[in-house]
């Protein structure tokens, strides 16, 4: 049976970043994905925002990996001409009752080390974004956008040029622990062995952890898929920064916000609701009113007929409905008898922003083996 050093399961942005990092250090690395190419799931169905790390608890991986990942992502984009834009973002209070929360967010983010933040008055916002309705706000100068497809294409080429084997149309169907390696079964047809396994299978990452023998309910690894839909503006508007509402303290999302893509297209979303399936990306007109109401609060000249359904994505959330914040799980499972097995589960937002910092973190875990 063929034996390799490292198997990376899942060729989304996180798997690509890890594979490109490890391929230069390990003799044989294979990147495995069930789809026929990389980045066919969550990594190409998101807002493409380079987050600053404003909202996460101070001692969380989401906070530290987002703040570091932000810097590393700008760096890789600048050095390799990957399309991106440091647009900046405004968190806009639309009613005086929201201003207390705005202050709390500002203090929290500053204490976490988020750079380039400042409070904005109504006049400041009017000067920056005349189309936006707001009583006050926070400006985040390190927020931006990135072409996620170009980023993944760059990481794919880098991993491949460093000798990483690419196994597409290869669904991992079983994992068996051997004495000093793991036997990985592909498509229930053939298998190979890997000394180290890195599970970054996104919406399938809990199932991969289960294949390795982890009780995903007892350990809190089971994913609760959570859909996010976008609508887009079908005309031009003079909005040049990302505009977010003040998030409600309860609930798993940030509220429908206004984002831009690299072509300048304006999108509204994503909304946030739990679903039963992990692969249904369909979208219908039923949320037209809900999106219009949310977007209109921030952007008063918007008309009902100005927006149309755009796309959807599904978050691999660990936080179940009604639960509190859950952090990323990034864990070497040696204490569960799985030496050399690293799980990454619940890599929802800010996973794109954090992708290079996650790769660095996983790589340092492997150096400790
Ligand atoms: C609506 C939405 C908006 C978001 N906005 C942002 C944002 O603006 N900024 C940001 O930083 N983050 C954002 N995110 C989060 C970000 O998109 C994810 O954190 C990131 O894409 C996760 O990448 P990944 O590589 O872990 O997962 P994925 O891209 O899902 O890749 C996992 C891969 O694993 C493969 N796989 C699964 N099971 C198996 C198996 N059994 N065998 C083989 N392969 C398998 C899949 O085919 C898939 O290709 C958003 C997410 C959503 C849903």
Per-residue pLDDT tens digits for 73-106: 999 999 999 999 999 999 999 999 999 999 999 9
Helix/strand/coil for 10: coil
Q: Is the beta carbon of 84 within 6 A of some atom in ligand 1?
A: no
What is the number of the ligand 1 atom nearest to the C-alpha of 208? 41
Q: 322: CA distance to ligand 1 center in Å? A: 23
Tens of pLDDT, residues 153-209 = 999 999 999 999 999 999 999 999 999 999 999 999 999 999 999 999 999 999 999
The pLDDT-based confidence of 252 (bands split at 50, 70, 90) is low
Q: Is the beta carbon of 255 within 6 A of some atom in ligand 1?
A: no
d(CA 205, CA 83): 29
Q: What is the mean pLDDT of residues 334-343?
A: 97
User: What's the pLDDT at 342?
Assistant: 98
The mean pLDDT value of the chain amounts to 96
Residue 61 has pLDDT above 70, yes or no: yes
Q: What is the mean pLDDT of residues 14-23?
A: 97
Give phi and psi for 237, each to the nearest 5. -150, 155
Q: Is the beta carbon of 33 within 6 A of some atom in ligand 1?
A: yes
Q: Is the beta carbon of 144 within 6 A of some atom in ligand 1?
A: no
User: What's the pLDDT at 330?
Assistant: 98
The pLDDT-based confidence of 214 (bands split at 50, 70, 90) is very high
DSSP of 70-112, one letter per residue?
HHHHHHHHHHTT--EE---EEEEE-SGGGHHHHHHHHHHHHHH
DSSP of 248-273, one letter per residue?
PSSSSS--SEEEE-TT--EEEE---E
Q: Is the beta carbon of 212 within 6 A of some atom in ligand 1?
A: no
- What predicted TM-score, i.e. pTM, was given to this entire model? 0.97
Ligand 1: residue of 56, 271, 313, 352 to mutate (most ligand atoms within 8 A of CB) is 352
Q: 18: CA distance to ligand 1 center in Å? A: 14
């Amino acid at each position: 049976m063929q034996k390799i050093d490292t198997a990376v399961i899942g060729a989304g942005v996180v798997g690509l970043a890890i594979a490109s990092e490890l391929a230069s250090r390990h003799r044989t690395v294979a990147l495995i994905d069930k789809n026929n190419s990389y980045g066919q799931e969550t990594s190409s169905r998101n807002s493409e925002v380079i987050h600053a790390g404003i909202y996460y608890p101070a001692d969380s991986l989401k906070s530290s990996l987002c703040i570091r990942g932000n810097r590393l992502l700008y760096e890789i984009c600048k050095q390799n001409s990957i399309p991106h834009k440091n647009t900046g973002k405004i968190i806009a209070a639309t009613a005086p009752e929201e201003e207390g929360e705005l202050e709390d967010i500002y203090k929290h983010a500053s204490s976490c080390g988020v750079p380039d933040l400042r409070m904005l008055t109504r006049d400041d916002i009017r000067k920056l974004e005349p189309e936006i309705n707001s009583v006050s706000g926070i400006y985040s100068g390190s927020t931006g956008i990135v072409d996620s497809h170009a980023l993944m294409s760059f990481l794919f080429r880098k991993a491949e040029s460093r000798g990483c084997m690419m196994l597409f149309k290869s669904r991992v169907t079983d994992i068996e622990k051997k004495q000093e390696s793991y036997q990985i079964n592909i498509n229930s047809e053939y298998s190979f062995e890997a000394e180290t396994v890195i599970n970054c299978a996104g919406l399938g990452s809990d199932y991969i952890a289960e294949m390795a023998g982890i009780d995903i309910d007892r350990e809190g690894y089971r994913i609760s898929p959570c859909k996010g839909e976008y609508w887009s503006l079908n005309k031009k508007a003079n909005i040049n920064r990302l505009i977010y509402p003040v998030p409600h303290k309860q609930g798993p999302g940030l509220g429908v916000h206004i984002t831009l893509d690299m072509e300048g297209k304006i999108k509204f979303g994503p909304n946030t609701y739990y679903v039963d399936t992990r692969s249904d990306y369909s979208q219908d007109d039923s949320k037209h009113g809900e999106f219009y109401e949310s977007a209109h609060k921030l952007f008063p000249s918007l008309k009902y007929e100005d927006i149309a359904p755009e796309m959807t994505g599904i978050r691999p959330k660990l936080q179940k409905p009604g639960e509190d914040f859950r952090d990323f799980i990034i864990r070497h499972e040696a204490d569960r008898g799985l030496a050399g097995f690293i799980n990454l589960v619940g890599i929802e937002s800010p996973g794109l922003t954090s992708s290079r910092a996650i790769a660095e973190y996983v790589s340092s875990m492997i150096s400790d083996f």
